[in-house]
Amino acid sequence: MSRFDAETAVEPAGEGRWATHLSAGWNIGDNSNGGYALTSVLRAMRSLVPHPDPISVTTHFLRPARGDTDGDVKAEVVRLGRTVSTLRGSLWQEGKQRLEVLAAFSDLSTGSRGGPEIAEAPPTIPPIEDCVHRGSLEQGVELPILSRVDVHVHPDHAPAGGSDRALIDGWIRFSDGAQPSTMALPFFADALPPSLFPLLGYIGWVPTIELTVHARRIPAPGWLQVRQESHDLHDGRMIESGSLWDSTGALVATSRQIGLLLT
Amino acid sequence: MSRFDAETAVEPAGEGRWATHLSAGWNIGDNSNGGYALTSVLRAMRSLVPHPDPISVTTHFLRPARGDTDGDVKAEVVRLGRTVSTLRGSLWQEGKQRLEVLAAFSDLSTGSRGGPEIAEAPPTIPPIEDCVHRGSLEQGVELPILSRVDVHVHPDHAPAGGSDRALIDGWIRFSDGAQPSTMALPFFADALPPSLFPLLGYIGWVPTIELTVHARRIPAPGWLQVRQESHDLHDGRMIESGSLWDSTGALVATSRQIGLLLT
Residue A83 and residue A80: Cα distance in Å, rounded?
9
Kindly give the pairing relationship between strand B10-12 and strand A224-234: unpaired
Q: Which DSSP letter does residue A33 get?
A: -
Residues of B in contact with A238 (CB under 8 A): 118
Q: Is A236 helix (H, G, I), strand (E, B) or coil?
A: coil
pLDDT in tens, A166-190: 999 999 999 999 999 999 999 999 9
Confidence of residue A140 (pLDDT cuts 50, 70, 90): confident
Handedness of CA A244, A250, A253, A255 (dihedral sign): positive
Q: Which residues contact B73 (CB under 8 A, 6 or more apart)?
A: B10, B17, B18, B19, B20, B40, B41, B44, B89, B90, B91, B92
Residue A154 and residue A101: Cα distance in Å, rounded?
32
Residues of A in contact with B86 (CB under 8 A): 60, 62, 100
CB contact under 8 Å between B114 and A236, yes or no, is yes
Residue B113: the pLDDT is 65
Residue A113: the pLDDT is 65
pLDDT above 70: residue B217:
yes
Closest CA to B257 of B228, B226, B225: B228
Q: What is the mean pLDDT of chain B?
A: 95
Q: Is A208 helix (H, G, I), strand (E, B) or coil?
A: strand
CB contact under 8 Å between A100 and B104, yes or no, is no
C-alpha radius of gyration, chain A, whole number: 18
How many other C-beta atoms can be found within 10 angstroms of the C-beta atom of residue A81? 17
pLDDT above 80: residue A91:
yes
ipTM of the complex: 0.97
User: Measured between alpha carbons, how far is residue B173 from residues B80, B208, B214, B224 in Å?
Assistant: 33, 22, 18, 6
Q: Which residues contact B120 (CB under 8 A, 6 or more apart)?
A: A231, A232, B243, B251
CB of A136 within 8 A of CB of A118?
no
Of B100, B116, B166, the CB nearest to A118: B166
Q: How far is B1 from chain A (nearest CA, A)?
A: 31
Residue A194 and residue A192: Cα distance in Å, rounded?
6
Residue A111: the pLDDT is 67
Residues of B in contact with A100 (CB under 8 A): 78-79, 86, 88, 102
Q: What's chain B look like in SS3?
A: CCHHHHCCCEEECCCCEEEEEECHHHEECCEECHHHHHHHHHHHHHCCCCCCEEEEEEEEECCCCECCEEEEEEEEEEECCCCCEEEEEEEEECCEEEEEEEEEEECCCCCCCCCCCECCCCCCCCCHHHCEEHHHCCCCCCCHHHHCEEEEECHHHCCCCCCCCCEEEEEEEECCCCCCCHHHHHHHCCCCCCCCHHHHCCCCECCEEEEEEEECCCCCCCCEEEEEEEEEEECCEEEEEEEEECCCCCEEEEEEEEEECEC
Residues of B in contact with A87 (CB under 8 A): none
CB contact under 8 Å between A78 and B60, yes or no, is yes
pLDDT above 80: residue B153:
yes
A112 to chain B: nearest residue by CA?
A: B235
Handedness of CA A195, A201, A203, A205 (dihedral sign): positive
Helices and strands in chain A: count of H runs, count of E runs: 4, 15
Stretch (H or E) spanning A78: strand A69-79
pLDDT in tens, B103-151: 999 999 976 667 899 999 999 999 999 999 988 776 678 899 999 999 9
Of A58, A116, A258, the CB nearest to B102: A58
Amino acid at B170: G
Residue A161: the pLDDT is 74
pLDDT in tens, B10-35: 999 999 999 999 999 999 999 999 99
Residues of B in contact with A261 (CB under 8 A): 113, 115-116
CB of A227 within 8 A of CB of A195?
no
Q: Which DSSP letter does residue A94 get?
A: T
For chains A and B, count residue pairs whose Cβ atoms are closer than 8 Å. Answer: 169
Of B113, B118, B263, the CB nearest to A115: B263
Q: How far is B214 from chain A (nearest CA, A)?
A: 8
Q: Which residues contact A14 (CB under 8 A, 6 or more apart)?
A: none
Closest CA to A218 of A241, A185, A178: A185
Of A102, A214, A233, the CB nearest to B118: A233
CB contact under 8 Å between B209 and A60, yes or no, is no
Of B100, B203, B231, the CB nearest to A86: B100
User: Measured between alpha carbons, how far is residue A251 from residues A46, A126, B211 in Å?
Assistant: 22, 18, 20
Residues of A in contact with B112 (CB under 8 A): 235
Closest CA to A168 of A145, A191, A148: A191
Amino acid at B145: I
pLDDT above 80: residue A137:
no
Residue B191 and residue A102: Cα distance in Å, rounded?
24
Residue B169 and residue B131: Cα distance in Å, rounded?
9
